[in-house]
Structure 1
Amino acid sequence: MGGELAILVPGGTGQLGTELARTGLAGGASVEAPGSAELNVAEVNSVLASVAGFAERARGEGRHPVVINAAAYTAVDAAEQDEAAAFAVNADGPRVLAAACAAHRVPLLHVSTDYVFDGTASEPYEPDDQVRPTSAYGRTKLAGEQAVLRSGARAWVVRTSWVYGGTGQNFVRTMVRLAGERAELSVVDDQRGAPTWAADLAAGLVELAEWVVGGHPPEAAVLHCTNGGATTWYEFARAIFSELGTDPDRVRPCGTADFPRPAARPAYSVLSAAAWQDAGLTPPRPWREALTAFFVAHGEQLRGGTSDR
């Protein structure tokens, strides 16, 4: 099925976009993965021209075009000071992208976040649970979801959480750096979620794209895709140290109140995979297995002591 796909990935040079390009190409799809310099979702003309050209090229090659939107403003704390900038990328961008997809009859998969929930739950959030974001980032991502779903495009929203990968800024890479700089460090132990390797998320999104063009699209318009299980940032950090071969007891637990940040973080943001599995899609592996696989793939680079750690 993958060989019939053509995938356009706005945000294609980020940690998820990079994995989407790799996964799509490995499956035989043609992939265009422009970064923001080539396709800025906050610029209307750029979006309209990019989607139109992509759809024409894909159909000219006899392929089924699909857009997977990995572009996002993810500076959670900075968004508190400049919500307009976050809104331009996270809400207006998807709105225009969805309109372009509708006009050219291109399905759209839009990636969203656990931050649309307020974090007061005690069991995994289902896609149709009440959304109540508590941060500017969460509000702008929710606005993006709503714009996509109201656009008239054939569109699906896929929420995920705690994403990390071999490129960009993320928790795993930060912990690796700090392991080489500090004898001990404190990490919050009262926020719970599901770490998700970008490669596994990308595999799920490409599988969903294949189902959509293959005539078996999920009935649910909103789905959740994360690695399985749940943990805290503290437990996640200890697992990272273990993978590095260093003493996990160097990581000490602390509370959110010990590290006040401009943006509120959900205390509980575990996302239920039930709708994903009910649609017949492959559930990603448990988060701990994924972390080990990540270090098999990237450990040499991460442990190399280079500036790219």
Structure 2
Amino acid sequence: MNLAILYRGPLASCNYDCPYCPFAKRRDPPELLRADRAALDRFAGWVAATTDVRLSVLFTPWGEGLTRSWYRDAMVSLSHLPHVDRVVIQTNLAARVDWLAEADPRAAALWTTFHPGQVDRDRFLRRCARLSELGIRYSVGVVGLPEHLTEARALRAALPAGVYLWVNAAEGRRYDADEEATWTELDPLFGYSVRPHLSLDRPCHAGETAISVRGDGTVRRCHFIDEPIGNLYDGSWRSALRPRPCGNAVCDCHIGYVHLKPLGLRDVFAGGVLERIPAAWPSVRRPVPVAAPRRRPVP
């Protein structure tokens, strides 16, 4: 059995203050940090012990995980387990990356995001260059806001051609055809992000070969459906895995809709689903537009 796990513990603190993020410059109290560390240690122990399943792990903390030593330690240790195909974390790349020299580059990977106004572009690019030197797979992303366009273009020009630059549609922003075309020049797959995907009653890998896990071990189909289907630590998750349709009207986040079966994005990102790297990059075709609701302006 192959299983992808999206893990999110209680950590919610971040060193950046992006205006589009609700966790900007949040500080976690010491007791929450201790709880997050204990939860991650428990999860890493479970991964190490669950050798009858081929596992892939994506850490999706609300805050920035790599400024915390326990996330770096988990990335390194899990990367060396023979039954772990991939271990990935979403990060703003603010922390130094030399620790990844201890990780197995065949398994460790990063989903990185560049936040203009929070970090100097040259500094971010130096981090990327170091990742390339270490042989670590990584993607780079930006939020598609007008004020980010100049920096995003400069970033794309400076990155190696083999590094995928993705663009996330800004929450609540409506893109006209010209804007969509502009961002698609940077990310040929931007069309998947710019409009929500109708998902109600449509088949999804979530809950079958991909699950979401909270710090206490509660298992859900995905981050966007609150109904629990079991717990990691009592084994009840095993009998809960099965094909099931989505219960939400739409899905508009990449870590959700990448698992929607009708979209076929697991094939597009084969071998790089969790780190968001297309299989054929840089030879990727633009998606054919499909009928779906466009993003509405924030009231």
- Is TM > 0.5 for Structure 1 vs Structure 2? no
Greater relative contact order: 1 or 2 (C-alpha under 8 angstroms, separation 6 or more)?
A: 1
Q: Which has the higher strand share?
A: 2
TM-score, normalised on structure 1? 0.33
TM-score, normalised on structure 2? 0.34
Q: Which has the higher helix share?
A: 1
